[in-house]
Structure 1
Amino acid sequence: MISKWRWIIVQFSRKLWVRALLFAVLAVITALAAIFLKHLIPDDLSTKIGADAVDNILNILASSMLAVTTFSLSVMVAAYTAATSSVSPRATRLLMEDTTTQNVLGTFVGSFLFSLVGITALSTGVYGNEGRVILFVVTLGVIALIVATVLLWIEHLSHLGRVGETSDRVEQATLKAVQQRIQYPWLGGAPLTDAQQIPSDALPLYAEKIGYIQHIDVAAISHWAEKAEARVYITSLPGAFVHPKRMLARVVGTHELDQEKLQSAFSIANERSFDQDPRFGLSVLSEIASRALSPAVNDPGTAIEIIGRGLRILCHWKEPNTGDSECIIEYPQVLVPPLKLEEFFDDFFTPIARDGVNMLEVQIRLQKALDALAQLGEPFYRIARDHAQQTLQRTNAVMEFDGDKQVLQELVDDLTHQSGHQP
């Protein structure tokens, strides 16, 4: 698991302005490099290759790149707005972290600044004929880069902000978090399988802020625990909403807690994060389906698609086992509770079953997805069976047509009858 500072750097690198700034700095350095490299160019080469035309080219680039950047920003904002209203505000964050969009805008801004610096330097005469040659060659390269970027941008805009594209991003982010949690089921620490393991005399560590835990630096906690010869029992996982009266952890083996150091290992913010919190991704997918099932949207096809995405994610889940060599334990001094499969099902299936209770096609797909998960064996079978029966009870309370009820009843019976085949 990554440390807090590495995690902060990763979050920082996802900001749009950071990548644009890097491109802009690179453009300025490139434009000024011609001043220091001009002695490498023969005196008469500028007239042979038409380097005198670089002034006009840079003027065209400066004016056009400013317009293209402004247009791209407006399109990007429109895509974010569309995703917020038609998909989910929680999914918009993934669009804002899209590397293609950031690279495109960074290229446009960098090209604009490159042109400005080049025009300014040319007006002062610091380039000379030799420097013009270098600037001319670099400008041709910038033009080629702009053409390739514009073509990429046109293709990217065709699906930016659409429901399917945004849902795919949420699915990929959630699947990545699930796979990471399979590898580090206890965030790199040791398993805390039961709260009864925590000694009654353990000292409590409370949160100093109100918000959601986004990241836990288990390595920093373990480093402190080793020095203090203590054991730390984590009680609040990433995604938990904490406040000054909720415990983050409990500590055994010391009479003094370094409150500031231990609290700083818990990154708390106003919103949940996809990175260490796979439940959040499933909740966002469920939210997309619920929005599609609302009377204002009435799009059961999207809900059915989301059920398939959730099924793909849950099929990757593997219950942690202390004897599994794939489960990495790096910090035995820190004990962390595992995620529960029941919580995954509750986060994903319950809202869809509730909001699509009167739509037969959605209920059929929901029951088939539960049936597919039940065939994975325990504990999937038990949890899927319970959710299938709960969903059937919801629909029986709302649906009036007996034929629809019979169809769903048969699906639930088929799932229940798998009990003889379970290991």
Structure 2
Amino acid sequence: MTSGLCRERDVVTGSPRMPPHLLLLCRALARAGGVAVAPVALLYLGSALAELAPKPGRMAALWQAMPEMGVSVVPLADLLAAALLVGAPVVLGVTVLAHGVAARTTPRVQRLLIRDRRVAGMLGRVLSVIFGSALGLLFVTSALRAGVFEPVGAIFVLGAVLGPALASMVALAQWAAALRVLCRADLALALAEMQARASLAAHIDAPLFGGVPLSAVAHVPGGALAVPAPCSGVVQRLDVAALEACAAKAGIEVWIEHRPGETVLAGWPMARVSGAPEAAILAQLAQAFTLGPERIPDQDPRYGLSVLAETASRALSPMVQDSGTAVDVIQSLQRLLWDHTRQPRARQVRFARVHVPPPSDAALIEAAFGPLTRDGAGHIEVALPLFAALDSLTRCGREEMARAAQTLCDRLLESSETALAIRAQREELFAIIGAARR
């Protein structure tokens, strides 16, 4: 649903970027073409060498038999090509099965798996080698039947047939090794944690994307002109460099109103600008906002935390009842946020004309643990590690996050009073919380 005004552009050149999956497709097609041409080139290389090779008399019988030897390989090549073409749907089917395993955690984890370029790149390599090898074998059999090579070219037939088959076997072995990990449900959790850690690291490096913090000192003027959203959607990416370049060209300042991860509707102000710029300038400013139908983790650190929290909530649903997975997720979230608070935030201002709303630590911890204070309150084996995680974050050293963690502790206590049906469990939880607060 990304609009024409919101296409992703390269920060350095300003030219539109090729979508990642289209780039992977082009690479796969190029690789398949190379694999398909290789056996044919080897076959014709043998034919060229035949013109230069000596023909000793004592080898005359073998020399005359080489065309028949080449033609006799045709059934084998046909069989290998058919086997490779049958193997491609099997690879795709197992890949769909792996995505189904990820979908059982949460649909957003499945989207993370689909967006993972390593998985897509591995699949592209395997399929390109398989289809390229099958196509190359078909070329070889056609050349053998037509007799377009010299007799000595039959020496290269075995290599031209077995080479693609061997390449396909190696590719399938690599894919089978990858699937042993891909089909495991805990891979989805590991991928979600890795994505969340990467988003938090980028958030630490550039919390304001290089802009000026939008605060009481740099407030939005009352008469600032709005930059309307060209379509409804979620702010996926924000190109502050493009905003700075456009603002410097027009001699204006820009105040951003929506960070990545927030929803805007068509016509809503995505930003406001000083002065009275022309409509063309407003259109150029709108191009710096990439809008889409769903959130992505690139510039939204809350997204990865929300995905992990949803996975834990799903594990606690009546149909699953997997409290162990929920505890694993709580520990992952605790590690992520604690490590996040240990890193100093970068405050370098590279774009002085663009004012960005500062991020909220309270929003991060709410995205991570907010749903779990509700869904985990009725499970003592989940409520105890959840309280331990929140209690540790009250001592993280960041005032805003510490206050938010304390608020979530109080919410967990209130929810557990009614959610825990067994009085002994309530007393155990209250005793632990009381001891921690003394």
TM-score, with structure 1 as normaliser: 0.86
Q: How does 1:80-229 map to 2 (within 5 A)?
A: 80-84=99-103, 86-96=104-114, 97=116, 98=119, 99-128=121-150, 136-137=158-159, 139-193=161-215, 197-229=219-251
SS at match of 1:331: coil
1:297 maps to 320
Residues 92 and 45 of structure 1, relative CA distance in 2, 3 Å threshold: farther
Identify which of 8, 11, 18 aligns with 1:4. 8
Change in 2 beyond 3 A, CA 1:72/1:294: same
Shift of 1:128: 4.4
Contact 1:205–1:259 (CA under 8 A) maintained in structure 2: yes
- SS of 1:255's equivalent in the other structure is coil
Measured after TM superposition, the shift of residue 215 of structure 1 is 1.3
Alignment of 1:303-342 (within 5 A): 303-318=326-341, 326-342=346-362
What residue number does 1:73 align with? 92
Distance 1:122 1:342, change over 3 A: farther
Question: Using a 3 Å threshold, how does the CA distance of structure 1 residues 343 and 118 change in structure 2: closer, same or farther?
Answer: farther
**Secondary structure, aligned partner of 2:349:** coil
Retained in 2: the 8 A contact 1:374–1:415?
Answer: no
Counterpart residue number, 1:272: 295
TM-score, normalised by the number of residues in structure 2: 0.83
Percent of aligned pairs with the same amino acid:
29
- Structure 1 unmatched runs, 5+: 418-423
- What's the offset of the Cα at 1:198? 1.4
Q: Which runs of 5 or more structure 2 residues have no equivalent in the other structure?
A: 1-6, 56-61
Residue 35 of structure 2 is matched in structure 1 by 27
Amino acid at match of 2:290: S
Q: Alpha-carbon deviation of 1:214?
A: 1.4
In the alignment, which residue of structure 2 is the partner of 1:355?
A: 375
Root-mean-square deviation over aligned CA pairs:
3.1
**C-alpha separation in 1, matches of 2:349 and 2:142:** 58
Q: 1:252 to 1:142 in 2, by over 3 A?
A: same
CA change 1:16–1:304 in 2 (3 A) is farther
**Tell me, what secondary structure is at the counterpart of 2:340?**
coil
SS of match in other structure, 1:267: strand
Which residue of 2 is the match for residue 260 of structure 1? 283
Contact 1:211 1:271 in 2 (8 A): yes
**CA distance 1:250–1:303, shift in 2 (3 Å):** same
Amino acid at match of 1:342: A
Q: What are the Cα deviations for residues 108-138 of structure 1, in whole angstroms up to 9, with x where unaligned?
A: 2332233333334444445545666666546
Contact kept? 1:289, 1:306, Cα under 8 Å: yes
Change (3 A) 1:121 1:148: same
- CA-CA distance at 1:44 after TM superposition: 4.9
Mapped partners of 2:173, 2:268: distance in 1? 52
Take 2:54 and 2:211, find their aligned partners in 1: how far apart are those partners? 65
Residue 242 in 1 paired to residue 264 in 2? yes
State the match for 1:343 in structure 2: 363
- Superposed CA deviations along residues 349-396 of structure 1, whole A, max 9, x for unmatched, are 111221122100111111111123233222332222121111111111
In 2 relative to 1, CA 122–169 (structure 1 residues): closer, same or farther, beyond 3 Å? farther
Q: What is the SS of the residue equivalent to 1:275?
A: coil
The amino acid across from 2:418 in the alignment is: A
- Larger Rg over CA atoms: 2
* CA distance in structure 2 between the aligned counterparts of 1:70 and 1:201, rounded to whole angstroms: 60
For residues 71-116 of structure 1, what are the alpha-carbon distances to aligned partners after superposition, in whole Å with 9 as ceiling and x for unaligned? 11111122223322x1111111232332333333333233223333
Give yes or no for contact 1:231–1:252 (8 Å, CA) kept in 2. Answer: yes
DSSP-derived class of the 1:268 partner: strand
Match of 1:386 among 370, 382, 407: 407
Q: Are residues 25 and 240 of structure 1, via their aligned partners in 2, closer, same or farther at CA, if it must alter by over 3 Å?
A: farther
Alignment partner, residue 252 of structure 2: 230
